[in-house]
Structure formats: C-alpha cells, structure tokens
Amino acid sequence: MTILVTGGAGFIGANFVLDWLSAGGEPVVNLDKLTYAGNLANLASVSADPRHHFVQGDIADQAAVESLLATHRPRAIVHFAAESHVDRSIHGPGDFIQTNVVGTFRLLEAARGHWQSLPSGEREAFRFLHVSTDEVYGTLAETDPAFSESTAYAPNSPYSASKAASDHLVRAWHHTYGLPVLTTNCSNNYGPFQFPEKLIPLMIANALEGKPLPVYGDGGQVRDWLFVGDHCEAIRTVLARGRPGEVYNVGGNAEKRNLEVVHALCDALQALRPRDGGYRDLVAFVADRPGHDRRYAIDARKIRDELGWSPRESFASGLARTLRWYLANAEWVAQVRSGEYRRWIERNYEKRVPR
Ligand code: NAD
Ligand code: DAU
C-alpha cells in the first residue's frame, strides 16, 4: 500500500512526509513541481529511504498523474500542492488560478478515474484529503465568533479565492460522483522548513541580519498560529478517522496580533542570540497589504469532539522550537534566500514606503 502526496517538497508537505514516515506510515509517492517553494533539501533525511519515492511533476498534467496512479495504486491522496503566498497572489494571480483551481480540477479527475477502477473493498477505503485554509471564510471583526465548518465562504484575496474554488470542486466531486473526499481548513502554520517569505521565518531571517522587521499596516491583524507538527498530526487523524464528505477546521488555539508575534519572536531570540539593545527596535511599520484580512480565528471543536485531535504545542513552545531550528539550520536559510528569493524581496518590499 502507498499514499500519494502532492506538494510534499514544500513547507507543510515535507513536514508531513517526514512525520508520516517516522510514524511508520506506508510508502509515499511524492509529486511536486518544485516551484520556488519546493525544495528537495527539506527531504534530505529521507533521500535514501526506499519508502519515499519523489516524482517531479505538475498536478495539472492529468495524463502524468493518471500514469502515476496506475503504477502505484495509492490508497489515498493527500493534496498539499498549491501556490500559497497571499502577497504573491496580489502581484500575480495567474499561477494561483492555474495550480490551485485548474490543477486541483485535473487531480480530482485523475483521482476519480483511479478510484472508479479499484475493486470494491479498496474503493470504499480510498480517500482524497484536500488541505485548505481558514482564509476561505474571509475576515472577522474583533468580537465575531470564530470560523466554524458552516461559516459562509467570503474569500478576499486572489489566493483565498483560488483555494475557495478548489474547496468547492472537491465538495462537488464528492456530492456528484461520490469520490470519498475529506477537507481540512487550517490556520497559519509555522515551524521548520517554512519558506522565509512568510511572517515568522522572514522576521527571524531579517532579525538575525539586523535588518528591519516589516510589519504591514498597524500590526493589529490577528491570526491563529498552529505549529506544523500539530497540523501534520491533525491530517493523519482526519485521514484515518474522518468521515468522507466532511470538512474539519484545524487551529492552534493561539490567536495573536501580528505585532505581538513579532515582539514575542524578538524576545525569544534575545534569550537565544542576544543583540545589543535587543531586537524590538528593528520593527518598521510599512504600507499595508491591499485587502488585508483583519482577523482569522478557528473553532476547532468538531475535530476535537469527533476525532479527538487537539494541538500539543503552545505558541511559546512552538516558537521556541522553530527559533532553535532556524538557528541550527543557517545553511538551509542561506540556500533558499539566494536567487529567486532576492527578486521577490525587492518586488514586495522596496516599494512599500514606511508608514
Ligand atoms: P508551500 O508554498 O510551502 O509549498 C507548496 C508546494 O507545492 C511546493 O513544494 C511547490 O513546489 C508545490 N507545487 C506548487 N505548484 C505545484 C503544481 N502545479 N504541481 C505540483 N506541485 C506544486 O505551501 P505550504 O505552506 O506548505 O502549504 C501547503 C498547503 O497547505 C497549501 O495547499 C496551502 O494552501 C495550505 N495551507 C497552508 C497554510 C500555511 O500556513 N502555510 C495554512 C493553511 C493551509
Ligand atoms: O491562514 C492560513 C494562511 O496563512 C495560509 O492559507 C497561507 O498559505 C499562509 O501563507 C498564511 O497566510 P497569511 O497571509 O496569514 O500569512 P503571512 O505569513 O504572509 O502573513 C501573516 C500576517 O503577517 C499577515 O497579517 C500579514 C502580516 N505580514 C506578513 C509579512 C510577510 C507582515 O506584517 N509583514 C510581512 O512582511
């Protein structure tokens, strides 16, 4: 038995593959296009493991996916592959529509053909798990209740609109064709191997070089933070015990304002790698993200009550683990910050005038 993971060379996908194999899971076929966000160095520790089979390819290449499915006959597909960065979706939405919408459509079609070809016992056991985001629900005011699985969709960025579209396709393939799908909508992840375009690793990398820490707008936006290892465990739980056709919200019980996150990071870094005067004075308020969602919050009672999953890490313990990982992996950071990364930083930050 095998499982097919898409996007398993990215941040969450690679963490998932490593967790899955170390927990004794079945062999993994890992399909990843290796965009700027995909990095085989994330998988270095399993490069010689015969249970990990990496294939460079595009989820939108339906014939290639069909051939992979026919060869490996996976019992499940765990779908991480996506364009994932909101700021990039504002600069260039085309890739988001292509991968997140068209790519998911083609993957679903290939999965449907594979599923229909399976003998009845295997058909019943087959699962397509779609990894999605809390951003599909839009934005909350300070006192609004957290997003539940029945909150109406109201995506506000090209990224979240493309993820919302993919969620609807996944839902429809279950409702219309009976494909046994599961969808998880998760809050902000952080942890090892996160590409330093996202808030936490970007701030760590800048702080260590004494560069400004660019906080968008007033820094009062709220996100819920989930340590990536907890997310991987939630996905394993939903895959094992989730009910086909159901949606599960996944959160870290850690709502924080962005400025609070940056300050916590500065203070934790000061304890590990002291800097004269500390790191907080590097904070620089810069022009806001267009259409910036003010607050996300997750009501994760369904996955807790039905499947018994809750996050293990607090924000403080997860942040400390993350900082220690980035400090111990300076070479990984240097490698991913060369080339394309530099062009992105110029594009996103140079025209952001300080507030
Ligand atoms: P990431 O950007 O770090 O990695 C995405 C991976 O997908 C990369 O390895 C990339 O090469 C691959 N990929 C992109 N286009 C592809 C294509 N057409 N075919 C095959 N592979 C392709 O993303 P991430 O942060 O690890 O997010 C993984 C998934 O989780 C995404 O679906 C994202 O929407 C979702 N998600 C992320 C977060 C978060 O905080 N990072 C939170 C909730 C949900
Ligand atoms: O909520 C889940 C989502 O979390 C995922 O679906 C996305 O794939 C993931 O990228 C993440 O989206 P965000 O936009 O919330 O994450 P990001 O790390 O880009 O930003 C977090 C917050 O920090 C957000 O309010 C914007 C702010 N920010 C971000 C950057 C990169 C800054 O203030 N300065 C920055 O330089």
Beta carbons within 10 angstroms of residue 150's beta carbon? 8
Selecting among 32, 58, 83, 135, the annotated active-site residue is 135
pLDDT tier for residue 338 given thresholds of 50, 70 and 90: confident
pLDDT tier for residue 342 given thresholds of 50, 70 and 90: confident
Beta bridge partners of 182: 129
Q: Please, are residues 147 and 298 in contact by the beta-carbon 8 Å criterion?
A: yes
pLDDT tier for residue 159 given thresholds of 50, 70 and 90: very high
Q: Which of 228, 225, 219 is nearest to 297 (CA)?
A: 225
What confidence tens digit (pLDDT) does each residue in 91-113 have?
Answer: 999 999 999 999 999 999 999 99
Contact 80 CB / ligand 1 (< 6 Å): yes
Q: How many domains is the chain partitioned into structurally? A: 1
Distance 85 CA to ligand 1 centre (A): 9
Residue 350 has pLDDT above 90, yes or no: no
142 is catalytic: no
Residue 340 has pLDDT above 90, yes or no: no
The answer to the question of residue 70 being in a domain is yes
Distance 102 CA to ligand 1 centre (A): 15
The answer to the question of residue 159 being in a domain is yes
The answer to the question of residue 25 being in a domain is yes
Nearest protein Cα to ligand 2, atom 7: 84
What confidence tens digit (pLDDT) does each residue in 160-195 have?
Answer: 999 999 999 999 999 999 999 999 999 999 999 999
- Give the pLDDT of residue 288: 97
Residue 188 φ then ψ, to 5°: -65, 120
CATH assignment of the domain containing 165: 3.40.50.720
Closest ligand to residue 250's CA = 1
Residue 314 has pLDDT above 90, yes or no: yes
Residue 284 φ then ψ, to 5°: -130, 120
The answer to the question of residue 9 being in a domain is yes
Residue 354 has pLDDT above 80, yes or no: no
Distance 150 CA to ligand 1 centre (A): 24
Distance 91 CA to ligand 2 centre (A): 15
**Ligand 2 site residues, Cβ closer than 6 angstroms:** 84-86, 133-135, 187-188, 198-199, 202, 214-216, 221, 223, 258, 289, 296
Q: Which of 5, 9, 19, 10 is nearest to 237 (CA)?
A: 19
What confidence tens digit (pLDDT) does each residue in 121-144 have?
Answer: 999 999 999 999 999 999 999 999
- Give the pLDDT of residue 37: 96
- Give the pLDDT of residue 279: 98
Which helix (H) or strand (E) segment holds residue 139: the answer is none
CA distance 47 to 160: 33
- Give the pLDDT of residue 351: 77
Contact 103 CB / ligand 1 (< 6 Å): yes
Contact 129 CB / ligand 1 (< 6 Å): no
Q: Please state the rounded mean pLDDT for residues 328-333.
A: 95
Q: Is the pTM of this model over 0.95?
A: yes
What percent of the chain clears pLDDT 90, i.e. is strictly above it?
95
Helix (H, G, I), strand (E, B) or coil at 342: helix
159 is catalytic: yes
Contact 34 CB / ligand 1 (< 6 Å): yes
Residue 200 φ then ψ, to 5°: -65, -50
Q: Please, are residues 208 and 244 in contact by the beta-carbon 8 Å criterion?
A: no
Q: Which of 107, 111, 105, 108 is nearest to 126 (CA)?
A: 111
Residue from 80, 182, 198 whose mutation best tests the ligand 1 pocket (most atoms within 8 A of CB): 80
The answer to the question of residue 281 being in a domain is no
What confidence tens digit (pLDDT) does each residue in 229-262 have?
Answer: 999 999 999 999 999 999 999 999 999 999 999 9
Atom number, ligand 2, closest to the C-alpha of residue 157:
14
The answer to the question of residue 22 being in a domain is yes
Domain that holds residue 83: 3-190+225-253+295-313
Residue 84 φ then ψ, to 5°: -125, -5
DSSP conformation class of 243: P
Distance 121 CA to ligand 2 centre (A): 42
The answer to the question of residue 90 being in a domain is yes
Question: What b/e sequence results for 182-204 when a residue is b if at least 16 CB atoms lie within 10 Å of its CB, and e otherwise?
Answer: bbbbbbbbbbbbbbbbbbbbbbb
Residue 355 has pLDDT above 80, yes or no: no
- Give the pLDDT of residue 110: 98
Atom number, ligand 1, closest to the C-alpha of residue 59:
19
CA angle in degrees (0–180, nearest 5) for 311-267-287: 90
- For 187-312, strand residue ranges (E) read 188-190, 213-216, 222-227, 247-250, 255-257, 283-286
What confidence tens digit (pLDDT) does each residue in 6-59 have?
Answer: 999 999 999 999 999 999 999 999 999 999 999 999 999 999 999 999 999 999
CA distance 68 to 52: 14
CA distance 37 to 336: 9
313 is catalytic: no
Residue 316 φ then ψ, to 5°: -65, -45
Atom number, ligand 2, closest to the C-alpha of residue 189:
4
Beta carbons within 10 angstroms of residue 35's beta carbon? 18
Question: What amino acid occupies position 337?
Answer: R
The answer to the question of residue 37 being in a domain is yes
